[in-house]
Amino acid sequence: MPKRKTEKKRLNVLQKKPEKLIDKDDMRLDGRKLNELRPVKIEVGVLGNADGSAYIEQGKNKILAAVYGPKEVHPRHLAQPDRAVLRCRYHMAPFSVDERKSPAPSRREVELSKVIREALEPSIFVEYYPRTSIDIFIEVLQADGGTRCAGITTASLALADAGIPMRDLVAACAAGKVDGHLVLDLMDVEDKAGEADVPLALMPNLNAVTLLQMDGSLTIEEFEKAVNLALDGCKQLYALQKEALKSKYVAVKEAVDE
């Protein structure tokens, strides 16, 4: 399968690409092992005016997610009689990458908004809120590869923070192939100069996959290994998501007790 990156962007990256992305001791450029996640910091309830919100730092990625709803749908004709309509906007800030990005939604952002919505929808009891909408906004403030997955992980927490009934949280992580090695949680240079990446989203408690994509090429055996690696990454992120949710309520309880 051909890589979908534009030729110009790929050439730029390949010109800047270091000779080796993985050294002889199987260490990556940022000092990670092959199966290691980037450092993750998550905070829930960071925005006062949204119904729910969360913020993640995963390596150099910095992403904010906000949720409004369930609320009346505008325009009204979009309302569904039997369920809430889920809407999602994934957006990269102009300053989120090294060369200014146009603030207008690109084709990539439109596509990612759709796949992120589809990855989150199975986790929500949309049938509880007929004729309403739930709006999800994902703002990428700084991008360094894997932003769709980090966006899903964060938006799922923002939905939980908004008090929306959910079957499970959704955690997402990519695995892929770089310099012939299967690796977890690709950063930008690995994503662009590597051979393949496989973003995956999981509802860990239900063991249900809600997003599976592949960019690049892998053998069937490599694909299976990459999926297992990504599943493991999702489970690690799930533990961090639960911790972040709990710490918000511990902080609220302490404030009330004082």
Q: Which residue ranges make up the site for ligand ADP (CB under 6 A)?
A: 97, 99, 101, 108, 143-148, 188, 191
Q: Which is nearer to ligand ADP, 97 or 141 (CB)?
A: 97
Closest distance between ligand ADP and the C-beta of residue 125, in Å? 27
Q: Is the dihedral of CA 98, 36, 45, 121 positive or negative?
A: positive
Closest distance between ligand ADP and the C-beta of residue 81, in Å? 34
Q: Which is nearer to ligand ADP, 146 or 204 (CB)?
A: 146
Q: Which is nearer to ligand ADP, 6 or 205 (CB)?
A: 6
Q: Which is nearer to ligand ADP, 126 or 171 (CB)?
A: 171
Q: Which residues contact 128 (CB under 8 A, 6 or more apart)?
A: 84, 165
Phi, psi (deg, nearest 5) at residue 215: -125, 125
DSSP secondary structure, 164-228, as one string: --BSS--EEEEEEEETTEEEES--HHHHHHSSEEEEEEEETTTTEEEEE--EE---HHHHHHHHH
Closest distance between ligand ADP and the C-beta of residue 200, in Å? 12
Closest distance between ligand ADP and the C-beta of residue 9, in Å? 7
